[in-house]
Structure 1
Amino acid sequence: MKFIVKTQRGMESVAANYIKESLPDARVWASPMGYYGLIIVETDEEKAAETILQIPEVERLIPVVVEVPAELEKIVESAEELASMINESETFAVKTKRRGKHRFTSMDVNRELGARIRELTNADVNLSWPDRVVQVEIIGDRAYISVVPGEEFRKFTPDKIDARKLFRKVTLIQMPYWGDYKACRSFGEKIGRAAQAFEVKELIIAPKEKMDAFELAEFINGVRVGQESRHRIQREAYPWKVEKVPVSVWDIYQVVRDKRRNKRLLIITDPKGPTLAEVKENLARDMFHAKEVVIFVGSREGIPRGLFRFADYIVDLAPYMTFATEHGIPAALVSLWEVYEEYARKREEGA
């Protein structure tokens, strides 16, 4: 039996040594053809898979079903053998990881091999939540093909509630950081990255009074840099189109005046309020039904107390603790998402 073992880049030699100790008769090839993070293992040991998975450095173990030359025609021909492992009632997807130079692309493999398997099995293709995944690992001049359960590839599954249902209607009101230019820019980057990471509806930079224009400029430039760096990662990682979060500047008192409208929920995070556990039932319900959820986050100092009278909720996220400026957005959104998800799941279950 042959296996493709995947590790963190640079950990392949460590994992290979442990595999050799655990399976003395195995043939182990770390970094085949110089590709880091990979190990090829060949062994006759019946419980080899269980043994290899006991090694913490091993991240994935892929049993090889078919090994063929890295030629498109040969890979497509392997469908004859792979088809017996996919039932007509199941869905499948073909995923290819290609290393080295070839006359075809990974998409060519996915398309041609997928079409042939579908022809042989009558099974439907499902790129989002397949029951089976035909995994094609191409390393230089060899192609190693396996059929694995689709669960191994599922980041986004139907049983999970999409967090964007909440975050798409969240407007963040962030007081800017002021002081040293370098610190302003640094904090701006962290805040811009956090707001973009959650794909919120809008980020409003809201000073509470007159402030140094150049300090504010450094902070906003930092927000832009942080946002763009996170957006680049999202475009590569997500299967859907990700838009940049709109960013604007507005006086915090005018924000409150504008947002005090029907179906808008105003939340201030502050130690003076009740704990999340005390208000979570009503808060979750109101967030679920709100058209817009407006969350105020302080910076160096808290939200002005005069605004508390206009908030629907004042929530203490972590009693006896004060969050650092750059942790305000993630702490608030993750905490609110937890209570929102619990409420949304109960509604789905009819509880």
Structure 2
Amino acid sequence: LLGIPEVERVIPVLVETEADLERIAGAAEEIARLIREDETFAVRTKRRGKHDFSSIDVNRVLGERMRELTGADVDLSWPDKVVQVEIIGDRAYISVLPGEEFRKYTPEKIDARKLFRRLTVVQMPYWGDYKACRSFGEKIGRAAQAFEVRELIIAPKEKMDAFELMEFLRGLKVGQESRYSIQREAYPWKVEKVPVSVWDLYQVIRDKRRNKRLIIITDPKGPTLAEVKGRLVRDMHHAKEIVVFIGSREGIPRGLFRFADYVIDLAPYMTFATEHGIPAALVSLWEVYEEFLRENGEG
């Protein structure tokens, strides 16, 4: 199997049992010998099919039983061993693997949430066809939740059709819920939903022009990120809140530029699609900020 490129990895199954919480917990006695008391462990579950329990329920019940039998501590970030549970339909397959195979979050990597927890996105809403409003709302809601930003503010610049805005916000909620459910299953830490509010665009910039707030507008009329990154990353580092304004269909009104600390062109001669605004801006800001942290030994 290892000679077949389509096979990503082979996991030896130690226990096969019914997809039932009690049966899965009972399997702990057969695999407990593989984890020493001085080791740490975590339980990871992937579930396919419909069941009357969640993956989190399996992690909790089996994890507690393993802890009782082995005396080992649970470590969700960097465990020595991982108890892998694959549930397919009415069968459960259990394995014990080295923890390093699952270490996506290693100590040498800087946690990007150091930046995004201080970052507020001000997004102009999409307007027009109802179906398009809902579709773009879903993509924007999913993107904002994916980055776990401090807050998402939906900010119309002027009077707009209430039902178009309603469809956009409905889509946004669907997108956020979709991403949040995946994060709850995938991350070893607690995930919070990003707060979402609606506010007039001009009032947002009036309110955010306060001490230790950094205002960034993304627009092709500004200098490139490379031109300003030296000053920008230092200001980002000291800011209590970083506020990023992103347009939709049309850019941020030019009258706001004079109130911004930075107007930045993320990709010269290119215009991002509305749904790409948040990922493009936040990934670009993180790249230059991570470089700053490493250069200053603050990883």
> For the superposition of Structure 1 and Structure 2, which TM-score range results when normalised by the shorter chain?
0.7 to 0.9
Deviation at 1:185, TM superposition (A): 1.7
Q: Distance in 2 between matches of 1:136 and 1:213?
A: 47
Other structure's SS at 2:160 match: coil
Is 1:61 matched up with 2:10? yes
Deviation at 1:98, TM superposition (A): 8.7
1:31-110 aligned at under 5 Å gives the runs 52-63=1-12, 76=29, 79-80=32-33, 82=34, 88=38, 90-93=39-42, 107-110=60-63
Is 1:267 matched up with 2:216? yes
Task: Sort the Cα spacing of 1:96 and 1:295 in 2 relative to 1 into closer, same or farther, 3 A.
Answer: closer
Is 1:111 matched up with 2:60? no
Aligned counterpart in structure 1 of residue 194 of structure 2, from 234, 245, 248: 245
Q: Which has the higher contact order (CA 8 A, sep 6+)?
A: 2
Q: Distance in 2 between matches of 1:107 and 1:131?
A: 18
Q: Deviations over 1:238-266 (max 9, x none)?
A: 23332222222222111111111110000
Which residue matches 2:170? 221
Tell me which amino acid in the other structure corresponds to 2:211: N
TM-score normalised by the chain length of structure 2: 0.82
Other structure's SS at 2:9 match: strand
Q: Distance in 1 between matches of 2:86 and 2:141?
A: 37
Q: Distance in 2 between matches of 1:185 and 1:97?
A: 30
Which residue matches 2:204? 255
Task: Sort the Cα spacing of 1:304 and 1:93 in 2 relative to 1 into closer, same or farther, 3 A.
Answer: closer
Tell me which amino acid in the other structure corresponds to 1:112: R
Q: Distance in 1 between matches of 2:48 and 2:253?
A: 56
Which residue matches 1:346? 295
Deviation at 1:317, TM superposition (A): 0.8
Is 1:197 matched up with 2:150? no
Deviation at 1:142, TM superposition (A): 9.2
Q: Deviations over 1:207-256 (max 9, x none)?
A: 22222222222222222222222222222222333222222222211111
Which residue matches 1:315? 264
Deviation at 1:291, TM superposition (A): 0.6
Is 1:327 matched up with 2:280? no
Deviation at 1:347, TM superposition (A): 2.8
Task: Sort the Cα spacing of 1:311 and 1:133 in 2 relative to 1 into closer, same or farther, 3 A.
Answer: same
Aligned counterpart in structure 2 of residue 156 of structure 1, from 105, 118, 130: 105
Tell me which amino acid in the other structure corresponds to 1:297: I
TM-score normalised by the chain length of structure 1: 0.71
Deviation at 1:107, TM superposition (A): 4.8
Which residue matches 1:283? 232
Q: Distance in 2 between matches of 1:180 and 1:257?
A: 31
Task: Sort the Cα spacing of 1:138 and 1:258 in 2 relative to 1 into closer, same or farther, 3 A.
Answer: closer
Which residue matches 1:234? 183
Tell me which amino acid in the other structure corresponds to 1:181: Y
What are structure 2's unaligned runs of at least 5 residues?
A: 52-57
Deviation at 1:198, TM superposition (A): 1.3
Q: Distance in 2 between matches of 1:284 and 1:209?
A: 32
Other structure's SS at 1:57 match: coil
Q: Which moved more, 1:91-100 or 1:272-281?
A: 91-100
Q: Deviations over 1:290-347 (max 9, x none)?
A: 1111001011111111111111111111111100011111110111111111212233
- Give the length in aligned residue pairs: 287
Structure with greater Cα Rg: 1
Task: Sort the Cα spacing of 1:305 and 1:145 in 2 relative to 1 into closer, same or farther, 3 A.
Answer: closer
Task: Sort the Cα spacing of 1:54 and 1:287 in 2 relative to 1 into closer, same or farther, 3 A.
Answer: farther
- CA-based RMSD of the aligned residues comes to 3.2
Which residue matches 2:130? 181
